[in-house]
Amino acid sequence: MGKNKLARFKEIRMFKNVFEPDNHEARSGNYFMKGNWKQDYYKNKNPLVIELGCGKGEYSVGLARKFPEKNFLGVDIKGARMWCGAKTAIDENIINLAFLRTWIEMIKSFFGQEEVDEIWITFPDPQEKKRRKKKRLTATGFLNSYRSFLIDNGIIHLKTDNDLLYNYTLSVINFNNLELVYKTSNIHKTDPDDELLQIKTHYEQLFLKENKNINYLKFKLPKDKQIIEPLD
């Protein structure tokens, strides 16, 4: 492991805006912050927005700067990447932003019913191989786990360079009659002035250099509807 990475791992443990549950806490399903994020961390009742697979946290930082009246939480398993966003939040005194280091497979352990208002999924690993389909962060197993903590008809945003993941997610939306709020297969062509969509993550910048189109989907997830995998 590089020196820099080691130093970041050490430093991040001291950051008050980073939560690093151990395996036991993550598996127990009963993390001490579950149901208590707004009251105990943000000290308000504002909406809570989470970003899954936040990497270096550019989106969470960008959103938190724009919307001080909302709470934000970036989630990723990679601490050295998360360090960047957490450090920026500390340096800029962005008090409506925190980070949670965990596997998204365990995400249900960390939030109570209807504790989360909105989810952003930014440039997730596309898991293109058919046998890896279940690992896509918009696969039905994940969507059903998000239902356990998202408000009824809570919004999910997906930004991806990957056309297969975009089309797969559209097929899940259509097959389950979910409400599609907006879709575009080329954000920078269709929505160049949309401040929200123009926040660029580390990966987005790399994909743009390769001249890739950036897809975006915004849809609603009903709380009481079991989401079913579309037929191939």
Ligand X SMILES: C[S@@+](CC[C@H](N)C(=O)[O-])C[C@H]1O[C@@H](n2cnc3c(N)ncnc32)[C@H](O)[C@@H]1O
Residues that bind ligand X (CB under 6 A): 53-56, 76-78, 81, 103-105, 122-125, 201-204
The answer to whether 191 is a known catalytic residue is no
Q: How far is the CB of 131 from ligand X (least distance, A)?
A: 16
Nearer to ligand X, 81 or 87 (CB): 81
From 76, 117, 125, 232, the catalytic residue: 125
Q: How far is the CB of 224 from ligand X (least distance, A)?
A: 26
CB 76, CB 101: distance < 8 Å: yes
State the burial class of residue 171 (Cβ atoms within 10 Å of its Cβ: 0-12, 13-18, 19+): middle
Nearer to ligand X, 153 or 198 (CB): 198
Nearer to ligand X, 44 or 205 (CB): 205
Q: How far is the CB of 123 from ligand X (least distance, A)?
A: 3
Active site residues: 125
